[in-house]
């Protein structure tokens, strides 16, 4: 299960957290449209409301009223193709001997099955096959024998994979970021409290200030009374494995992730795309909305260098059609592209056109668009892509497709060009991504574009020395 999701956690001085949590989830809706949920704590007990659907549909006024308490966590979950299993909607919550626990998870564990088998053998009963429940049970078990910080540390030493978590133990709200910093998580300050969120746009929505990113391997514990937070660097690791795809596609352009404003990153990548493989044409068109920032950077660089290229909105998007990716069959996906995008004939007819998108996954969007543009009278259609060829699946939380579905998995760029019927096609280099993000290859997760992963995944290769935890014959120790 590859889930890319949004998480949030809030501790306030003296008002209910439900509304700010609800607004934050709205701000993070792009990270998941399948289910939404909030769990709060009023000092005595947990309150929970989790359902399938969009944030605006899941919570009615009465629901927010009943979510009492100044502390809480929230979650939006991304749909995986065809799945409508309410089992995996979050936050996940449990009560156990030493209190209540709520968990919101963005990411994907590589060794969840091993830990689940071990804990099941020790008597834990699982209600889903999701990895979030595995983290919850492991943490619950550790909390029986250790204090909060050591229990979290112990769980972190056992789970392998990507995770940005917001956790609530009784009324204490915490955030944890995996030692590789694969998925984003940041801290914000409000007038009367603190917030942890996948993206800073959620903090902006609450009129808060971004304090900083949660560090890879760090645990941040918000004070129950909303007056501050404590930080514990629980795991130190030499290299990070930040997901570059957050910057390329997934995050909101108005979010700042690992100190980079996503919009500026995308514009820089667009400039680099022109530098690497710019092509003369009459007009540059963004594929809305994901290609927009790339296209503006690309066109700007072209114009800076004297190219006579017009930047235009040649494709109109029907904003009521969801992301095409979630369509389960290829036929539906093709239909959805036509539903979603319609050309503006006057900007296209009789012209040579370059379209810019962030990425090609299956090739559906570009194939359909090129046909559409040629039907609308384009003389040539060139395609420039703001990411490298995606050749391998993502195991870390971006539900991208299987290897068989990836158009670039077994084809050369020239073969893809021929497949999608473009007049020319170029992708951005991995070096341009690393340079723009200001990070070395060994601080990024490049699994989907190199086939080499920063984690030990069954059947895949790694790009570094990885210590996959040994699970099975361990006793739980309080003092490590
Ligand atoms: P394709 O049509 O080639 O299968 O997918 C490419 C399009 O999907 C691009 O426009 C890109 O913005 C978008 N895209 C890229 N990655 C993802 C993803 O993980 N999920 C969704 N929903 N769309 C994606
Ligand atoms: Mg797109």
Flag whether pLDDT at 308 surpasses 90. Answer: yes
Distances from the Cα of 370 to the Cαs of 42, 249, 345, in angstroms?
A: 55, 21, 14
Residues 269, 224 share a domain: no
Question: Which residue, among 179, 85, 103, 113, has the nearest Cα to 140 in the 3D structure?
Answer: 103
- Find the distance separating the first CA and the last CA of the chain, reported in whole Å: 31
Task: State which of 31, 365, 396, 428 you would mutate to test the pocket of ligand 1, scoring each by most atoms of that ligand within 8 A of its C-beta.
Answer: 365
Residues 105, 191 share a domain: yes
Assign 476 a pLDDT band (cuts: 50, 70, 90).
Answer: low
Q: How far apart are CA 276 and CA 270, in angstroms?
A: 10
Residues with CB under 6 A from ligand 1: 249, 287, 290, 323, 325, 357-365, 398-400
Q: Which tokens in the block code for residue 287?
A: 């594929």
Residue 289 Cα to ligand 2 midpoint, Å, equals: 6
Residue 387 Cα to ligand 1 midpoint, Å, equals: 11
Flag whether pLDDT at 209 surpasses 90. Answer: yes
Residue 58 Cα to ligand 2 midpoint, Å, equals: 26
Give the CB-side neighbour count of residue 389, counting CA atoms within 13 A.
Answer: 18
Residues 118, 214 share a domain: yes
Comparison of pLDDT for 86 and 141, the residue scoring more:
141
Q: Which ligand is nearest to the CA of 420?
A: 1
Q: How far apart are CA 39 and CA 64, in angstroms?
A: 10
Secondary structure element (H or E) that encloses residue 387, with its range: none
User: What's the whole-number mean pLDDT along residues 248-276?
Assistant: 97
Amino acid 480: pLDDT: 47
Q: Which ligand is nearest to the CA of 386?
A: 1
Q: Which atom of ligand 1 is nearest to the CA of 405?
A: 4
Amino acid 44: pLDDT: 94
Residue 357 Cα to ligand 2 midpoint, Å, equals: 6
Residue closest by Cα to atom 17 of ligand 1: 400
On whether residue 116 sits in a domain, the answer given is: yes
On whether residue 458 sits in a domain, the answer given is: no
Residue closest by Cα to atom 22 of ligand 1: 325
Separation of CA 468 from chain center:
23
Residue 213 Cα to ligand 2 midpoint, Å, equals: 27
Q: How far apart are CA 387 and CA 427, in angstroms?
A: 6
On whether residue 451 sits in a domain, the answer given is: no
- Looking up tokens 């036509």 gives 338
What count of residues does the chain have? 480
Residues 130, 9 share a domain: yes
Residues 228, 99 share a domain: yes
Q: What is the pLDDT of residues 348-389, one digit of tens each?
A: 999 999 999 999 999 999 999 999 999 999 999 999 999 999
Q: What percent of the chain has pLDDT over 90?
A: 83
Q: Tell me the residues surrounding ligand 2 (ion) with CB < 5 Å.
A: 290
Q: 472 near 480, Cβ under 8 Å? A: no
Comparing 205-209, 337-341, 473-477, the range with the smallest average pLDDT is: 473-477
Q: Which domain holds residue 330?
A: 260-436
Residues 177, 315 share a domain: no
Q: 315 near 378, Cβ under 8 Å? A: no
Residue closest by Cα to atom 18 of ligand 1: 400
Residues 429, 373 share a domain: yes
| Residues forming the active site | 5
Question: Which residue, among 76, 73, 102, 70, has the nearest Cα to 89 in the 3D structure?
Answer: 76
Work out whether the CA dihedral 390, 392, 393, 397 comes out positive or negative. negative
Task: State which of 266, 290, 394 you would mutate to test the pocket of ligand 1, scoring each by most atoms of that ligand within 8 A of its C-beta.
Answer: 290
Q: Which ligand is nearest to the CA of 358?
A: 1
Mean pLDDT computed over every residue of the chain: 92
The total of structural domains in the chain comes to 2
Residues 288, 199 share a domain: no
CATH number at residue 342: 3.40.50.2020
Residue 400 Cα to ligand 1 midpoint, Å, equals: 8
On whether residue 456 sits in a domain, the answer given is: no
Flag whether pLDDT at 165 surpasses 50. Answer: yes
Flag whether pLDDT at 86 surpasses 90. Answer: no
Comparing 67-81, 126-140, 291-305, the range with the smallest average pLDDT is: 67-81
Assign 331 a pLDDT band (cuts: 50, 70, 90).
Answer: confident
On whether residue 49 sits in a domain, the answer given is: yes
Distances from the Cα of 437 to the Cαs of 261, 363, 392, 432, in angstroms?
A: 10, 26, 21, 8
Q: Which ligand is nearest to the CA of 364?
A: 1
Task: State which of 359, 389, 401 you would mutate to test the pocket of ligand 1, scoring each by most atoms of that ligand within 8 A of its C-beta.
Answer: 359
């Amino acid at each position: 299960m590859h889930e890319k999701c949004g998480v949030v956690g809030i501790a306030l001085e003296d008002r209910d957290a439900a509304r700010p949590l609800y607004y934050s989830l709205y701000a993070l809706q792009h990270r998941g449209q399948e289910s939404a949920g909030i769990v709060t704590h009023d000092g005595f007990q947990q309150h929970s409301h989790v359902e399938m659907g969009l944030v605006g549909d899941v919570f009615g006024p009465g629901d927010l009223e009943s979510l009492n308490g100044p502390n809480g966590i929230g979650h939006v979950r991304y749909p995986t193709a065809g799945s409508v299993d309410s089992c995996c909607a979050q936050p996940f919550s449990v009560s156990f001997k030493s209190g209540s626990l709520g968990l919101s998870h963005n990411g994907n564990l590589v060794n969840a099955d091993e830990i689940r088998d071990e804990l099941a053998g020790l008597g834990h009963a699982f209600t889903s096959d999701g990895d979030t429940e595995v983290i919850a049970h492991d943490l619950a078990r550790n909390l029986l024998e250790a204090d909060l910080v050591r229990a979290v540390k112990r769980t972190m030493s056992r789970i392998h994979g990507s995770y940005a978590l917001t956790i609530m133990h009784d009324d204490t709200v915490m955030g944890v970021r995996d030692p590789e910093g694969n998925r984003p998580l940041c801290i914000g300050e409000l007038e009367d409290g603190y917030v942890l969120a996948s993206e800073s746009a959620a903090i902006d929505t609450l009129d808060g200030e971004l304090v900083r990113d949660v560090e890879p391997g760090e645990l941040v514990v918000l004070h129950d009374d909303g007056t501050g937070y404590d930080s514990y660097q629980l795991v130190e690791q030499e290299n990070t494995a930040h997901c570059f795809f957050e910057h390329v596609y997934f995050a909101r352009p108005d979010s700042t992730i690992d100190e980079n404003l996503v919009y500026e990153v995308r514009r820089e990548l667009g400039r680099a795309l022109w530098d690497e493989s710019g092509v003369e044409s009459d007009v540059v068109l963004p594929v809305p909305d994901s290609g927009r920032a790339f296209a503006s950077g690309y066109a700007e660089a072209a114009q800076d260098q004297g190219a006579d290229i017009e930047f235009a909105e040649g494709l109109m998007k029907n904003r009521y059609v969801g992301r095409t990716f979630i369509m389960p069959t290829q036929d539906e996906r093709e239909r959805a592209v036509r539903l979603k995008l319609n050309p503006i004939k006057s900007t296209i007819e009789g012209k040579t056109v370059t379209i810019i998108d962030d990425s090609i996954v299956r090739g559906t969007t570009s194939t359909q668009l090129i046909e559409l543009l040629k039907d609308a009278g384009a003389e040539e259609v060139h395609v420039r892509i703001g990411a490298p060829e995606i050749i391998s699946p993502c195991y870390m939380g971006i539900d991208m497709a299987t290897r068989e579905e990836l158009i670039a998995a077994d084809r050369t760029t020239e073969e893809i060009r021929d497949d999608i019927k473009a007049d020319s096609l170029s992708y951005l280099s991995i070096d341009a991504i690393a340079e723009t993000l200001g990070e070395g290859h060994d601080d990024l997760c490049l699994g989907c574009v190199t086939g080499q992963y920063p984690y030990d995944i069954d059947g895949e290769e790694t790009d570094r020395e990885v210590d996959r935890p040994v699970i099975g014959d361990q006793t739980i120790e309080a003092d490590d």
